[in-house]
Amino acid sequence: MIYWRNMLADPRIARLVALISAALRPPAGAGRIALALALGLICHLLFAAAVLAMIVAMFFGLSESFGTVPWPWAAAANIALIVQFPLAHSFFLTGRGGRILARLIPGPHGATLATTTYAVIASAQLLALFALWTPSGIVWWRAEGALFWVISAAYTASWLLLIKASFDAGAEVQSGALGWMSLLARIRPVFPDMPTRGLFALIRQPIYVAFALTLWTVPVWTPDQLLLAISYTAYCLLAPRMKEKRFAQRYGADFARYRAQVPYALPRWKKDQTNAQ
């Protein structure tokens, strides 16, 4: 025992033990880094799955999905799937919803990760909507021949517009990357400036307009798709009003000038004659 005590008292041995301990000890901030990377991975995998499910399901007019709820209960289940997305999506953008969102991740990083958490929830909601939908089994119309390719091209163009609008608005916010990347870098999340370029120079709500276009440019029409298209087109026209209220509070006079110059949803293709004179 005395031998081991003397050995551990040797400065060289003590330094070696310290070095080994330091090598085995997790690096500072390892928990923070692991949380950021894990939530980022979950967020982007869910986001990709949700987008893929949307593209495929609507391409077939919601005639193909995994839902198996027996009818007539399937009607109530499908309506619930439609309603759950806009309700939660809008709620978490309110002041109260934002405070709840910041507490969903336990610990000190909930507020930093709020945008990522928001994207995780939205992606899970959309994935549930399109993967768990119970098809009615009724197909009204399918595009065929050259018309199929024309409509498919319009559907593709609508999705490309949606992607473009999302990048113009700030891809890091729309994809949920802002939260986890800010935590990884140990900085406070900084939202991009008010979007005014790209598609936002033509209309104020290009994301909502592009999403509405994806609802109506499908090559297969069913009562399922019509219900979805009507419901979410109404949401795409009304929900941005809440967004513009937030922008008015956040950007003040800058947003007021932007709103006065740029139309809401339909671009102006001709200059105002009074301004031209």
Amino acid found at 256? A
Q: C-alpha distances in angstroms, 235 versus 75, 82, 152, 224?
A: 20, 11, 24, 17
Given this model, what pLDDT does residue 84 score?
Answer: 93
Given this model, what pLDDT does residue 141 score?
Answer: 95
User: Rounded CA gap, 155 and 78, in Å?
Assistant: 23
Task: Look at residue 42 and give its three-state secondary structure.
Answer: helix
Instruction: Tell me which residues of the chain have a pLDDT lower than 50.
Output: 1, 3-4, 7-8, 15-17, 19-28, 272-277
Contact in structure between 76 and 219 (CB atoms under 8 Å): no
User: Rounded CA gap, 201 and 50, in Å?
Assistant: 28
Return the sign of the alpha-carbon dihedral for residues 54, 58, 64, 66. positive
Question: What is the reported pTM?
Answer: 0.81
Domains of the chain: 27-266 (1.20.120)
pLDDT for 21-53, tens place per residue? Answer: 443 344 446 787 888 889 889 999 999 999 999
Q: Tally Cβ neighbours within 10 Å of residue 75.
A: 13
Given this model, what pLDDT does residue 10 score?
Answer: 55
The verdict on whether omega for the bond into residue 263 sits within 30 degrees of 0, i.e. cis, is no
User: Rounded CA gap, 80 and 174, in Å?
Assistant: 25
Amino acid found at 260? A
Instruction: Report the mean per-residue pLDDT for the chain.
Output: 84
CB-side exposure of 265: number of CA atoms within 13 Å?
15
User: Rounded CA gap, 36 and 59, in Å?
Assistant: 34
Task: Look at residue 61 and give its three-state secondary structure.
Answer: coil
